[in-house]
Amino acid sequence: MKKSFGTVLNCIDGRTQIPVINWIKENFNVEYVDLITEPGMDKIVSEGNPFYSSRLKDKINISVKAHKSKIIGLVGHYDCAANPVDAEVHYRQIEEATNLIKNWNFSVDTIVGLWVDEFWEVHVISLYKRI
């Protein structure tokens, strides 16, 4: 049986990992989720720093090519120590980050920007689907 994968760019904060993994598996019908983590991932990606962008693209490429991942998720979350801004700023960063990832032109079906709230519930902030 062929294994199915998703890819998620998430904060290093361990509180977000399980809720996001479970949400991706349930909503996109994948068996496994490849995690790429950095502190304050939504801020890092939205800023478009060439150093980080290059490293993240390399890691995403491994997941997409080796595991045939068809979804890329980007996560921001409540109470982020590395990005201590209010939720509205996180939402904007998540939207900007998912738009940047979309422009990286990976051959995936979906790019989704997610927010994890203070109850560790996952919410969709932005969603791009390939037509």
This prediction has a pTM of: 0.95
Domains of the chain: 5-129 (3.40.1050.10)
Report the percent of the chain where pLDDT is more than 70. 98
| Statement: residue 2 has pLDDT above 90 | no
User: How confident is residue 74, by pLDDT bands cut at 50, 70 and 90?
Assistant: very high
Q: Are 70 and 111 in contact (CB under 8 A)?
A: no
DSSP character at residue 82? S
**Looking at the predicted structure, is the pLDDT value of residue 121 above 60?**
yes
Confidence class for position 115, pLDDT limits 50, 70, 90: very high
Q: What's the count of helices (H) and strands (E) in the chain, helices before strands?
A: 4, 5
Contact (CB, 8 A) for 24 and 8 = yes
What is each CA distance from 96 to 30, 85, 86, 92, 93, in whole angstroms? 25, 15, 16, 6, 5
